[in-house]
Chains A and B, each alone.
Chain A
């Protein structure tokens, strides 16, 4: 593949950058993602997933079935924060840093 060919259009990552990551022993889509941001754009890898697999295959000789699927994430497609929010202001597992400051006999521990 031509080195200047864009692989991830959202983050504008080209083939050369992917190959460089593979040169640093990256073997999976997720390895490459963390090194280059490829796949972290608005489409969340929906477009570049198969292109990256092809580059890995080309560079390392791994079969496509040996290149694991990238981690897929929620939300399955982007969603507004206000839609997600239920507007409750009581939190159970989400903490405020202030809550974590522990006082012992009225003094900071």
Chain B
């Protein structure tokens, strides 16, 4: 009952779909697993316009990009295992997938892990009260489930992501009481977003942080700490942006080694310029390979796709090298400009490929 396939991709988010295009369009037999019943990953609920995408994509909204990536696979034979998830590995290295009725092994020639990122929590007294959620959760409620999560909200954090969510909440009628940022400046790189926020007269509180939340059974009030005073606000929604970190479980079970790059989200699998981990047949893509911008993530799906084709002798070494060079060039264009520190960290990470901080995790 073992399922065989050339390429198994874990995660049908933008990175997984980009990797699928590289491999399936060249004729490989590709299987994509996603625990969700729909394709597109976390892109589906993103309504903001993405401006810096790699060619051939023009600026478009997040969900439009998701649809584009899905549609361009239509003409190729791709096996989708939606509502399926990877739960672990067998002794012989095959991957254990469940459809919630059974667990079965899949034995791919190559595996590309594109499991994305998780949002980090932000701790303060009573952060576990209902009504305190992550910015991503707020976005999902508003744009996917069409639920308005509150009337009066405060946003903790001022990254591009937090700003987008503030705008998206405000669009559906949530009153944004303020955006709270502990640093002396706004973190968002996209100045247009800050402008939008200003236009809507949403207050930006710099050098401030949340001191505590209060409420009986749900959040009712928060204290915002400024250098010189405390401000109390009545709210029923607190959206926190604690940053994101790569989801590593699949890599851990596959036996990959790990390193650390603060700018890319902390711990992440070791990989080389092919986006190949130190387990020979295991590749990675997307936010799992370091938190970056949407445009950059697509390219991190293409790079391992090309290498897989090369290793499976679908394309020649020259062609692969040519493709690779152009992908890296484009990645540099997209990443180095907007997030120079991420680009630095990525190059550093690749340089440290042979020196993982954590390896042989199962040997005691």
Contact = CB atoms under 8 A, between A and B. Distances in A.
Contact of A65 (B85, B123, B127, B357): B357
Contact count band on B: 35 or more
Contact of B252 (A46, A65, A72): A72
B125 A72 contact: no
A21 interface: no
Interface in A35-75: 46-48, 50-51, 54, 64-65, 68-69, 71-72, 74-75
Contact count band on A: 20 to 34
Contacts of A79: 87, 98, 100, 103
B182 interface: no
Interface string A1-43: 1101111010000010000000000000000000000000000
B161 interface: no
Nearest to A15: B123
B203 interface: no
B88 A75 contact: yes
Nearest to B115: A76
Contacts of A50: 120-121, 242, 245, 266
Contact of B253 (A6, A15, A76): A76
Contacts of A9: 128
Interface in B339-364: 357-358, 361
Contact of B103 (A2, A48, A54, A84): A84
B283 interface: no
Given A50-B242, A76-B88, A71 B361 contact: yes
Contacts of B174: none
A77 interface: yes
A1 B210 CA distance: 12
Given A50-B120, A50-B121, A54-B123, 18 more contacts: A2-B124, A4-B125, A5-B125, A47-B121, A50-B245, A64-B260, A64-B262, A65-B357, A68-B357, A69-B248, A71-B361, A72-B253, A76-B249, A76-B253, A77-B87, A83-B101, A83-B102, A84-B103
19 contacts: A2-B125, A4-B125, A5-B124, A5-B127, A7-B123, A47-B121, A69-B248, A69-B361, A72-B252, A72-B253, A74-B89, A74-B96, A76-B249, A79-B87, A79-B103, A83-B98, A83-B102, A84-B103, A86-B102
